[in-house]
Amino acid sequence: MINLIGTYECKADAKGRLMLSAPLKKQLDDVLHEGFVLKRSVFQPCLELYPMQEWNIMMAKINKLNRFVKKNNDFIRRFTAGVKMVEVDASGRILIPKDLCVFAGIEKQIVLSSAVNIIEVWDKDKYENAIEDVSDFAELAEEVMGNLDVDELS
């Protein structure tokens, strides 16, 4: 499992290509050659960039769902809607397809934000709004992490 660290700003060119920052590229060095999957986020107006090995782990979980249960089938269809395979070119760039740029409202200024094992790709303004939107992060942190035993975290 990959554990990515950092938030990086970059710009998209007129064709929708973005340059991966050197620190992020270094963290991904072992998996760059495998390619990536780019998809719409489920909860936010951003994109999620999965290293191929992380995508395969996610697909193994999804493949356990019974496709003869309508909710499961509907979930799979919506989860994989608009999914694209992308590669890092020789210049260290990734092309974001136009339909995914439209979904995420990506124009020029982009934020690449690590989310443990994937990278969220945001329009800079939308990212800033999402970060500010959590009105009481302390309350959220307590609710999400407060019931975990300290020993479970290590």
The average pLDDT across 122-147 equals 84
What is the C-alpha separation between 79 and 64, in angstroms, rounded? 15
> What residue type is 3 in one-letter code?
N
Residue 133 lies in a domain: no
Tens digit of each residue's pLDDT (9 = 90 or more) over 81-118? 999 999 999 889 999 999 999 999 998 999 999 999 99
Residue 25 lies in a domain: yes
Residue 147 lies in a domain: no
Residue 129 lies in a domain: no
Backbone angles phi, psi at 38, to 5 degrees: -115, 130
**Is pLDDT of 153 > 80?**
no
Q: Pseudo-torsion of CA 42, 48, 51, 57, nearest 10°? A: -10
Report CA-CA distances (Å) from 4 to 50, 152, 153: 11, 20, 17
Report which secondary-structure segment, H or E, holds 59: helix 52-62
Looking at the structure of the chain, the number of domains it has is 1
Percent of the chain at pLDDT above 90?
A: 78
Residue 150 lies in a domain: no
What CATH number does the domain containing 44 carry?
A: 3.40.1550.20
Q: According to the model, what pLDDT value does residue 135 have?
A: 65
Count, residues in the chain: 154
- Domain range for 81 is 7-124
The average pLDDT across 132-146 equals 78
Instruction: Report the Cα 46 to chain-centroid distance in Å.
Output: 8
Q: According to the model, what pLDDT value does residue 131 have?
A: 87
Contact 119, 4 (CB under 8 A): yes
Q: Which region among 66-80, 99-113, 130-144 has the lowest average model confidence (pLDDT)?
A: 130-144
Residue 75 lies in a domain: yes
Q: According to the model, what pLDDT value does residue 140 have?
A: 79
Contact 66, 37 (CB under 8 A): no
Residue 140 lies in a domain: no
Burial class (CB in 10 A: 0-12, 13-18, 19+), 127: buried
pTM over 0.75: yes
Q: What does DSSP assign to residue 3? A: -
